[in-house]
Every structure is written in C-alpha cells, then in structure tokens.
Amino acid sequence: MKNETVVLITGCSTGIGRELCKILSERGYIVVATARKVEALKDLTVSLKLQLDVTQKESISVAMEEVIARFKKIDILVNNAGYSTRGALEEININSVKSMLDVNVFGIINMIQAVVPEMRKKQFGKIINIGSISGKFVQPINGAYCASKYAVEAISDTLRLELHNYNIQATVIEPGPIKTNFFKTMVNNSNNLMTSQDSYYSTFYEADAKYRNNQNLTDPKEAAKVIANIISKSRIKPRYKVAVPMSYNIAIHFPDFVREYFMKRR
C-alpha cells in the first residue's frame, strides 16, 4: 500500500543504498533511486530512477526538476553516496583526498541546498545522512576518510539547529563495517600506496589489510532494514549507530589516551 512519502536516495548502485531502495519500495514508499551511472539501477523496482552526480550542480538540478515535476515534493532525503581512500597523511595523494571529500562532504551539502527549499515549502522533511562509526574515532592510515565522516557529524548537527523552525529533521547514521563494495572500492583507490614496501608506513598497511581480512561484516540488507525503521519514525534522534561491533562501541567511550594506546597496538 502506497503511503505517498517521497524518498530520494543517493548512491543506489550498490550496498546500503541499493538495499534501502528495495525495502522502502516494498513498504509502499515512492522511492527515487539515483546513481552516477543510471544503468546500474536497471534491475531495481522503484518509482523513479535518475542519473545524479552529487558533485555536479547541473546534474542535481536536472534530477530535482524531474522529481518535483513527477511528485511535487521530496519528503525524505537519504545522503548515502560516499566512498573511501586510504593512506598515511604524509603520503596519500592529495587529489584523491579532494575527490573523496567532494563526494562525502560537499556532495551532501550540494544535495541539502537543492532539497531544503522544497521541504521548506511543505514545512516538512527528513534528512538522513549516512556517516560512519569512523566519524567518532580515528584509525591510522584512515585519517582522510575519518575526517570526511567527522564532517558529516557536524553537518547533521548544524542542520538541526538551522532547520528546526521549518519542521525539517536531520540525523546521522553511524554504520559499522558492512559487507558491500565499499572495501573493494577502497582497495582499488589505495592499493598502489598500501602495497608499497618502500613506504615508511608499510607495517601499518600490512596490519590494516590483515585486520580487514579477518573482520566480521554485517549484511547490507540487515543494516538497511534498521535504517528503514529509523526513517519511518515520526521523530528521529540526532544520531543512530547501526551494526557497530561491541569493541567499537566501547572504544568511542574510552579517554583519548586509552583509545590511542589500543589503536597504536593494533
């Protein structure tokens, strides 16, 4: 049964975004699935599929015009598009970091600037920003990605202060490790650096690869179900942890010196 709630989701080609499209469509939402390459969405059953690059204002504008022409509104925005590149700050490629920040941070702001005026017209809206537990504590050789997710925390908190008069809510979802293409993409982006035996940080890279190979990952379907339930709430909290291992939950509450001690040993 349709509930006439229009949900626009970015980054739907794989992972949480894709699974969220499926679940919300099954629950009767009007789902607008978007991706940089719209052909990646061809087997999704949703109300509308659109090409959308969150780093390109023109791409966003074209997509927004289509959504408003079809449905007259956007009730919920899920800022899901994002990826990771890894490397020690001393030697990571700065252009790679800029490209990642363009998606993970400025892409979210681009979408906010496009969608909020439409939500304000209706005096209603929800903005769901997909952050990461890495936005709560840092790990060596992952500093650039962590910085992008710390930024998502700040963006979400700012939105609540700026938009509460318009009945527009905002939250940040903080997932733990999820079994998606995320780590494959990260390796593709960072492999040359992280496999270099000449690096001063080679022991960090080797330890990180070993840790990731043994890491327990949550099925994206399970994570998407939790996020779908959060979306359906009439009032949403400032932040939600999703599929976060107990060790991570404990780590974020440690004093800085204790957390750093364990991270150095890892």
136 labelled catalytic: no
CA–CA dist 239, 259 (Å, integer):
22
Which residue of the set 22, 49, 136, 149 is catalytic?
149
CA–CA dist 181, 183 (Å, integer):
6
From first to last of its 266 residues, what are the pLDDT tens digits of the chain?
A: 567 999 999 999 999 999 999 999 999 999 999 999 999 999 999 999 999 999 999 999 999 999 999 999 999 999 999 999 999 999 999 999 999 999 999 999 999 999 999 999 999 999 999 999 999 999 899 999 999 999 999 999 999 999 999 999 999 999 999 887 655 666 666 777 778 888 999 988 888 888 888 878 889 999 999 999 999 999 999 999 999 989 888 888 889 889 888 888 76
CA–CA dist 37, 41 (Å, integer):
8
Closest Cα to residue 170, out of 109, 215, 212, 220? 109
Q: Where are the domains of the chain?
A: 6-265
For domain 6-265, the CATH superfamily is NAD(P)-binding Rossmann-like Domain (3.40.50.720)
CB 144 within 8 A of CB 92: yes
145 labelled catalytic: yes
Which residue of the set 22, 49, 136, 145 is catalytic?
145
CA–CA dist 74, 260 (Å, integer):
43
**Cβ neighbours for 33, distance < 8 A, ≥ 6 positions apart:** 9, 12, 17, 18, 21, 41, 44, 46, 48, 49, 50
